[in-house]
Structure 1
Amino acid sequence: MSHPLLLKGFEVELFTGRADGTVVGVAEQAAAQLEGFVTEPDHRNLEYITPPDADYARQLELLLEPRRRLRRWLGERSLTLLPGSTLSLGDSHRFERSDPSNPYHGYIEATYGTRVVTASVHINLGLTEMGALFAGCRLLRCEGALLLALSASSPFLDGVVTGAHSQRWLQFPLTPPTVPLFLDHQHYIHWMDAQLAAGAMRNVRHLWTSVRPNGENRPHDLNRLEIRICDLISHPRQLLAVTVFAELRLLQLLENPQTHDPLRASRLGPDQLAELADSNDRAAARQSLRATLNDWRTGEEIEAGAWIQRELEQVAPLAARLGLSPWLEPLGAILRQGNEAMRWLERHDAGVPLGEIMADGATAMQLAEVEPAPRNTAASHPLG
């Protein structure tokens, strides 16, 4: 069986502020003056979305072009883009509304407060056949902790060390708090209808979980899988490397569901798998690549970094066949040197002030926007 590369797109949330790392909110002005940007309920961060495209080189440019426009606009105001997924040097004790007249924003503030004032990246991968889509959701739900471990970038909040590598994931209000491993499309529809009827969700978008089905008319019309667990990955090439890793796992699943669909390949039942996935996510939020996780296949313990390395070795032949190996290369550096949170914490432990760490991170974020794409690029290329 062969499958082309999947359509993919990104929803990128970013904090804005001064070069010294101080968070300054300008989302409403930026969204009004720049095409393609939208506000979040708190104006200290804003969002842009890339259109779907299967080609990684084109997605790199689609990620960079809006950031460059935004950066020029911010530069005229002596502001910049800030790395990290929490208010590292900000004030999480107050909510700064982007639109005080918006009732939904009022609901968010009253219900969740600044727990939701985070920056992240959501990765959307196109799957239109419902069996494949829900199998993909199951696989990446069970391996979401690996993606969080690679992307963790929120060890600070309000100018202090939190003790976590992804404070964002620990503080963000997962809604509803318990989500099953969906067995198929009908299971998802019935579950969603029940949550809406019970008031556990305000609307169909109010499913805030690590991985979810997505589409224009949820829960019925679906066309993609959305990975929501990743912290902001400020380096575009690293973001694409994480995406390649997730896509290769999905392509393996499509080739051999018997081996890669947790419903078929695990010793654990669906409820146990959902509990395992959530527990792994919390462990990865605390210690990222060093976290002790439980393999969904057997329940046995394994360190996150070792699990990722094992899967990278398994996907390497497929990556080579598809010309994707160069796009995976940044993951090796993350495994060797640590993710952003780990590198920041290492500097902080060595006595570097948090403000200097964030200022250097903002500079590194800007420099990463000029790195060229790999020469060996892959388009929508069939397997085999």
Structure 2
Amino acid sequence: MGADAVIDLPSATEAYATGTDGTVGIEEEFMLLDTSTLDLVPRFEELSASTAKDPELAVSVAGELIRTEIEIRSGRGENLGDALEHQRVHRERLFAHAARLGISLGATGTHPWDDYRHQSFIDTEHYRRVVDGLRWVARRNATFSLHVHVGVRDADRAIAVCDRLRPVLPMLLALSANSPFVDGIDTGLHSIRTQTFTKSFPRCGVPDHFGSWKAFCRYLELLQATNSIQEYTQVWWSVRPHISFGTVEVRICDAQSTAAEAEALTGLIVACALQAARDHDEGRPLEPVPARMIEENVWRAIRDGRSGSLVDWDTATEYPAAAALDRLLAWTAPVRSELGIEPVLPDRNGAERQRDRVADGASPAEAFAASVAETQATYPPSAASPSDPQERST
């Protein structure tokens, strides 16, 4: 069994004890596409082998279950800016390798017409465990997302941050929704990725409010003792403490079609995590929101993205989901002003832009092609250079 299969809670406790607030890691998942047809193509091993010859990139490339997907990782950045700089370099080099092989990289939460029944899996011990354990659920999952790690010192504080981020998850999902089409149909939803992944995988979605590291450890020990999990990464919550890295990992967002959106969401997530840590440190009261209420907002975000409404449970009133950004910016203003984080998101997210194109007469395939064109045009650093603050959006 691989090293990532070992649940070493004492080492995890130490990782948090020696950790640093505000380190950042970014993980972006891209689909591998035929450049002419935009069909998914199972060429992960080929692209991975190409990147393996590039010492600056090899350690930053990873597989994600299916052979039509590749993940690019920033590695640990000492702060947001550092992580973004690393990720820009890695993206540029990955896109160059893909282009040389005649592969296009796409970045929406789902592929509009791929037949999941024809997917094949990466042949590693880890993914064999995933497929053996999840069976149809693993085969059905052909999804692409954005994950952000934020360093949080002290294990109890990490749990507190996760607890405080629970009701924030639907807001981040509404802002990032980018998957209206799957299986050759318009689903009527804005994030079918979330419905497919979060509602199918076990130990996924909104976690419980744990309250302490001790309570969280008891839960993991129970899962392991009952053979429910063999490794920690089989806990797939939308926000989780990542015990190998000493971080809080937010996993709710769809993959983003443009670099500016991915970077803005990363900055927003970093600000939310650090503000949650500050609120905990300052003793701000936290009344745990029941999961059933948070899940109601998750469903609204899945269904309508930022075009619908969310519920403010404190006042039992609805508010426009598009206002989620202003609410999060207001909450995180203290941390953002200190760190200079100013996320700028477009007025229409990826799902809305795809739906707008269909409303204007495009087919879902044509709307997807336009999204792929956005990705090809904006992900290389030449289109969003560190020297351009408007494009940097953080």
Q: C-alpha separation between the residues in 2 aligned to 1:139 and 1:104?
A: 32
Pick which of 145-154 and 64-73 moved more: 64-73
Q: Could you tell me which residue of structure 1 aligns to residue 30 of structure 2?
A: 14
Alignment of 1:156-305 (within 5 A): 156-172=181-197, 173-176=200-203, 179-216=207-244, 223-257=246-280, 264-266=285-287, 270=288, 272-295=289-312, 297-305=314-322
Q: C-alpha separation between the residues in 2 aligned to 1:169 and 1:141?
A: 16
Normalising by structure 2, we get a TM-score of 0.82
Distance 1:200 1:294, change over 3 A: farther
Distance 1:204 1:246, change over 3 A: same
Q: 2:386 aligns with which of 366, 369, 373?
A: 373
Give 1 or 2: higher strand fraction: 2
Q: Could you tell me which residue of structure 1 aligns to residue 150 of structure 2?
A: 125
Q: 2:62 aligns with which of 38, 46, 52?
A: 38
Pick which of 292-301 and 362-371 moved more: 292-301
Report the aligned-residue RMSD: 2.6
Shift of 1:64: 2.3
Shift of 1:358: 1.9
Normalising by structure 1, we get a TM-score of 0.84
Q: C-alpha separation between the residues in 1 aligned to 2:308 and 2:212?
A: 31
Q: Deviations over 1:135-174 (max 9, x none)?
A: 2101222101111111111111123211111111001123
The one-letter code matched in structure 2 to 1:96 is: S
Gaps of 5+ in 2: 1-19, 52-57
The one-letter code matched in structure 2 to 1:135 is: A
Alignment of 1:65-144 (within 5 A): 65-99=89-123, 103-104=128-129, 106-107=131-132, 110-144=135-169
Q: Deviations over 1:350-374 (max 9, x none)?
A: 2112222222212211221222236
Gaps of 5+ in 1: 217-221, 378-384
Q: C-alpha separation between the residues in 1 aligned to 2:230 and 2:359?
A: 42
8 Å contact 1:148–1:284 — kept in the other structure?
Answer: yes
Q: C-alpha separation between the residues in 2 aligned to 1:140 and 1:43?
A: 32
Q: C-alpha separation between the residues in 1 aligned to 2:277 and 2:139?
A: 39
Distance 1:192 1:17, change over 3 A: same
Aligned length: 356
8 Å contact 2:108–2:179 — kept in the other structure?
Answer: yes
The one-letter code matched in structure 2 to 1:225 is: V
Shift of 1:23: 1.3
Q: Could you tell me which residue of structure 1 aligns to residue 11 of structure 2?
A: none
Q: Deviations over 1:232-289 (max 9, x none)?
A: 123222222222222223333333338886xx333xxx4x522222222222111111
Q: C-alpha separation between the residues in 1 aligned to 2:322 and 2:210?
A: 27
The one-letter code matched in structure 2 to 1:340 is: G
Q: C-alpha separation between the residues in 2 aligned to 1:197 and 1:350?
A: 55
Q: C-alpha separation between the residues in 2 aligned to 1:314 and 1:210?
A: 20
8 Å contact 1:252–1:260 — kept in the other structure?
Answer: no
Pick which of 303-312 and 185-194 moved more: 303-312
Distance 1:258 1:8, change over 3 A: closer
Shift of 1:111: 4.3
Shift of 1:38: 2.1
Distance 1:250 1:103, change over 3 A: closer
Q: C-alpha separation between the residues in 2 aligned to 1:118 and 1:108?
A: 18
Q: C-alpha separation between the residues in 2 aligned to 1:73 and 1:375?
A: 25
Distance 1:161 1:23, change over 3 A: same
